[in-house]
Structure 1
Amino acid sequence: MGGKFPGKYPGSMRFACIFQIAILAFMGIIVLSKAGLLWPQWSVFAETAIWFIVAYLVLGTILNLITRSVWERRIWAPVTLLMLITSIMVAIT
């Protein structure tokens, strides 16, 4: 989150982290469903939703590349880029 809060996060930021975890879990379910590995009943929804995930990851990769936080650039930029590449691979298959 930009390295703005060293040490413990304030309460509102802790809630934001929990919300982000939920978003990432939902994204994982969609990608796995689109790949045919989880919940086949979601496959129709996943066909469209995967492209929203790709767009979200494009934005996330860009933001992690331009952040002032050195650690976010070093750690999270490659992670989001890898997630972007793999989600595109799943989306086009």
Structure 2
Amino acid sequence: MLTQIAHLYATACLAVIFFQIALIAGAPLGEYTQGGQQKGALNAKGRIIAAVSIPVLAFQGFAILSAAGFPGLGWPRWTAYAALSVSVITMILNGITPSARERAVWFPVTTVMAGLAAYVVIVTL
């Protein structure tokens, strides 16, 4: 069960990476990200922020997979705690964003992701 939960978390990270790639490519989803400050496509600064989030999300996914014992990773334990921390912070920020659309879509998603990461971290203590 632990590996399935970790794989689900990593898959969610991958899905969010694809969302970030869509933002970088100009998808008109500005109201669903970064506080919903931009309608339509993100400007250059917003696209840079989306690009920076991609390696962070990849790190999170790999860190939780490693904590669950995925073969070949063997990352230090602190990386799982870092991934969980980023997940919880992201959940909180999506819960308090002024954008109703971002809150409606991403708060539930990031809440589930934080729960999955917490499960892996707690079970593997």
Q: TM-score normalized by structure 2?
A: 0.67
Gaps of 5+ in 1: none
Tell me the residue number matched to 2:72. 39
Whether contact under 8 Å (2:59, 2:83) holds in the other structure is no
Q: How far apart, in 2, do the equivalents of 1:38 and 1:18 lie?
A: 28
CA pair 40-22 structure 1, distance change in 2 beyond 3 A:
closer
Equivalenced residues, count? 90
The Cα offsets for residues 42-62 of structure 1, whole Å up to 9 and x where unpaired, read as: 2xx1x1111122222221111
Q: How far apart, in 2, do the equivalents of 1:81 and 1:89 lie?
A: 12
Q: How far apart, in 1, do the equivalents of 2:104 and 2:71 lie?
A: 31
Offset of residue 9 of structure 1: 1.1
Q: TM-score normalized by structure 1?
A: 0.87
Gaps of 5+ in 2: 1-33
Cα RMSD after superposing both structures:
1.3
